[in-house]
Structure 1
């Protein structure tokens, strides 16, 4: 029987009190954090905020619990933005929206960092029942968001980013699931030849863990060739943003098939409108009418994008909706 698993793609908004505290601490401003050795007071705020969002996911009933990525001021660019071999420069628009990040410029070889692993070690102390989910930028998106001034070749740079993420992942504590976020596969799709290299890079990262790996593109649908190559990667699930694009995502599945598991982005991670759980369950039914969901071993129900953009109170409500919708889908399937 198909298992319905409620989760998120991570990158949560900060609790309101944490924003206030961080603003007050020694003139702390957005984009000031450039390493993992922040002031102890600032680190304590993030630690308390992490505990809060983990407890919030528990109370909502989510079956996978993310660390939250609350320190990721630069969003998906964070693992490079805090790296010793990277120089952060001017503010760059984060895809086509009103969020921004510091441009990470790679000036030297990408050696091991351990920044994300240290965050997960702290989260693992709070999630000891096998429900911990890690979140990383996919190698193609991370390379796309960065500027290379060291490797000098796009293919070599992508391979270096994949090797870097592979090393970071190998240092993670035990996790149940890994979400690799790959919006650049939609927003700036790779061309001929590059699409195959992107798939190989994703495969390399995914092969570094025994956890279930979900590749989650969003803000639309993958082109046919990109999707077909992505299926060649050794991943457990591919995600579909059914909020932004229903028709093309359905076409990809119907035409080229899918992985054994699937991730359905059915709640809007950017809209303050909070869906009813029954409405999300109805969307599961709609997908099932087009593609037999019962053929999948695991169906992850999630927001279509990260929830970084939401007011914290709306974020709380979205978590509860996703968890309840998964329960409704599970009951109906039984």
Structure 2
């Protein structure tokens, strides 16, 4: 019987009060943080905001609880932006939208940082059940794609070093049930011949650093065929599909190449304030099954197609409740 799991890719919006408080404390808006050595007041604000978003997830009834990544002012680039061997430079457009991050320029060996592990340890202390905890990281291909290498000197070496760095970070994580690796660059800056296989190997390196279930979540479209085929070779538990941005090509990949034993379905819009109906989300799950030869997955993750950073806090909370109810409805129907 399929297990339906409600979750998110993390990267939550700050609560409204925290946006105001942190803006006053930092003197600017989220997205421009000079990350690394926050003051006690800033740390306290993030601590309170983290507690709030974890409580919101639990109240909504989500099956997996994330830390929220509220400190990730540089979005997916965050693990490098706060690293001692990285210099952050000018503001860069985050893919093709109106959000920005500071360009991380790697100038030395990417040794262990522990920044994300520290956040996750705090989250673990706040969750009701450690079996619900989900870790979130940028995938190695996306993190390398967003960065500039001024140290390793070779694209393949830099990707491998980025993967080793992330694997070291994961190895320090507290016990977690699931790890989401966010890989929008696999869609937005698709790897070419040879590089697609290396991207899969890099993901494999990170996945092998944890005993948790690993979900690779691309978004903002569909994977090219060869990229998808190579991704299936990685030692991962599930591939994510953005069915909000692209239905036909995602269905084609599933039909043509099959899937892992589990699947992550991005069925709620992480950037649109329109709140979906739980029954509609459940019906979209049925629609996916109708399109593909797979009769049953071991696990189906129901999630937003992208991070929810773009949403107003109120709409964000409503989306969480919708996902939780949709998963419950799907469980009941499958029983």
Q: Same fold (TM over 0.5)?
A: yes
> Contact (CA 8 Å) 2:93, 2:100: kept in 1 or not?
yes
Q: How many residues align?
A: 334
Structure 2 residue 73 is matched with structure 1 residue 73: yes
Structure 2 residue 257 is matched with structure 1 residue 247: no
User: 1: distance between equivalents of 2:97 and 2:39?
Assistant: 31
SS in 2 for 1:103: strand
> Contact (CA 8 Å) 2:19, 2:29: kept in 1 or not?
no
Structure 2 residue 104 is matched with structure 1 residue 104: yes
Is the alpha carbon distance of 1:282 and 1:220 closer, same or farther for their aligned partners in structure 2, counting shifts above 3 Å? same
Task: Report matched runs for 1:19-38 at 5 Å.
Answer: 19-25=19-25, 27=27, 29-38=29-38
SS in 1 for 2:126: coil
User: 2: distance between equivalents of 1:95 and 1:32?
Assistant: 17
Could you say which residue in structure 2 is the equivalent of 1:41?
A: 41
Could you say which residue in structure 1 is the equivalent of 2:332?
A: 331
Task: Report matched runs for 1:176-195 at 5 Å.
Answer: 176-195=177-196
> Contact (CA 8 Å) 2:204, 2:235: kept in 1 or not?
yes
User: 1: distance between equivalents of 2:45 and 2:294?
Assistant: 42
> Contact (CA 8 Å) 1:266, 1:302: kept in 2 or not?
yes
Give the drift of 1:235.
0.1
SS in 2 for 1:307: coil
User: 2: distance between equivalents of 1:237 and 1:26?
Assistant: 39
Unaligned runs of 5+ in 2: none
Could you say which residue in structure 2 is the equivalent of 1:146?
A: 147
User: 2: distance between equivalents of 1:303 and 1:243?
Assistant: 9
> Contact (CA 8 Å) 1:13, 1:309: kept in 2 or not?
yes
Could you say which residue in structure 2 is the equivalent of 1:320?
A: 321
Give the drift of 1:290.
1.0
Structure 2 residue 304 is matched with structure 1 residue 297: no
Give the drift of 1:298.
0.3
User: 1: distance between equivalents of 2:299 and 2:75?
Assistant: 28
Could you say which residue in structure 2 is the equivalent of 1:17?
A: 17
Give the drift of 1:151.
0.5
SS in 1 for 2:265: strand
Give the drift of 1:29.
4.5
Task: Report matched runs for 1:120-269 at 5 Å.
Answer: 120-129=120-129, 130-269=131-270
SS in 1 for 2:264: strand
- Residues 227-259 of structure 1, C-alpha deviations (whole Å, 9 max, x = no match): 000000000000000011100001101101100
Unaligned runs of 5+ in 1: none
Give the drift of 1:28.
5.0
Could you say which residue in structure 2 is the equivalent of 1:50?
A: 50
SS in 2 for 1:125: helix
TM superposition score normalised by structure 2: 0.98
Give the drift of 1:32.
5.0
TM superposition score normalised by structure 1: 0.98
Is the alpha carbon distance of 1:283 and 1:109 closer, same or farther for their aligned partners in structure 2, counting shifts above 3 Å? same
Is the alpha carbon distance of 1:13 and 1:31 closer, same or farther for their aligned partners in structure 2, counting shifts above 3 Å? closer
